[in-house]
Amino acid sequence: MASTRVERVPEEVRSLFESLVHSPDPVFATDRRLRLIFWNASCERLLGYSEDEISGAGCATALEGCDAFGNRYCSEHCPVTAMAARGETIRHFGLRLRAKDGRIVPMDVSVLHLAVRPPDHFVLAHVLSPSEAAPARPGEASAAPPRPMLVSVRESPDARARRLTTREVEVLGMLAAGRSAPEIGGRLNISILTARNHIQNILDKLEVHSKAEAVAFAFQHRIV
């Protein structure tokens, strides 16, 4: 069983992943092409997908990972993989993953960056820990994925909200999550100056005078 689960993993780190096959901690791994190359038994129990079903799939399609505001992390432009490609430290973060039965499971995620030989260059081991928020049961209204902020903004009756660009909506969601300009820059792979420019544009378009007022606007108008 162990050899099957690690057959897609680069040889130089294969022994490490063999030791994680039956770990009580759910662990999956992706390569630089955003493919799932490892899926341990605890992940299988937690999210319902078997190793045969998910191995080799793209993480964006298989897991549909979003933050608490519906912003997609698992995508063709994964910020975590981009940070790894630049050799940056990837800090602990929260993510909501879709289980096989449709539940949205909130997770705390830690990523271990493992350097390997070209052409792979690195493997990212994702260690999952279900967060304290209880996942919804299948069939309940709360089992639906969080409504994306962009949809809420585009359908807002307030014209000020509809003026925001897609990038500004992302930034506003991160402000609502308590992120600073440097953190926003790091997560979106943009400079701090660019992040601050986006914040100022948000303030101007929403006709508010501070980040706190922008976040209050977002909650009052049910954008987040």
Residues 62-86 have pLDDT tens digits of 888 887 767 777 777 787 888 888 8
For 149-220, CATH number out of 3.40.50.720, 3.40.50.300, 1.10.10.10, 1.10.1060.10 equals: 1.10.10.10
Cα(139)–Cα(45) distance, integer angstroms: 20
pLDDT value of position 140: 40
Of 49 and 177, more confident: 49
Convert the pLDDT of each residue in 125-158 to its tens digit: 999 988 754 444 444 434 344 456 677 788 888 8
pLDDT value of position 58: 87
Confidence of residue 210 (pLDDT cuts 50, 70, 90): confident
Convert the pLDDT of each residue in 5-38 to its tens digit: 888 899 988 888 998 999 999 999 999 998 999 9
119 prior amide bond cis, ω within 30:
yes
Q: Which residue has the tokens 């490609």?
A: 85
Single-letter code of the amino acid located at 1 = M
**Degrees to nearest 5, angle at CA 177 with 189 and 133:** 115
Q: Tell me what the mean pLDDT of segment 100-127 comes to.
A: 89
Q: What percent of the chain has pLDDT over 70?
A: 88
User: Where in the chain do CATH 1.10.10.10 domains reside?
Assistant: 149-220
96 pLDDT above the threshold of 70: yes
pLDDT value of position 224: 65
Among 31-45, 57-71, 165-179, 191-205, the least confident range = 57-71
Q: Does domain 2-143 have CATH number 3.30.450.20?
A: yes
User: Where in the chain do CATH 3.30.450.20 domains reside?
Assistant: 2-143
Contacts of 118 (CB under 8 A, 6+ apart): none
pLDDT value of position 148: 64
Q: Report the chain's mean pLDDT, rounded to a whole number.
A: 83
Among 56-60, 138-142, 180-184, the least confident range = 138-142
pLDDT value of position 80: 83
DSSP state of 35: B
Of 156 and 195, more confident: 195
pLDDT value of position 178: 76
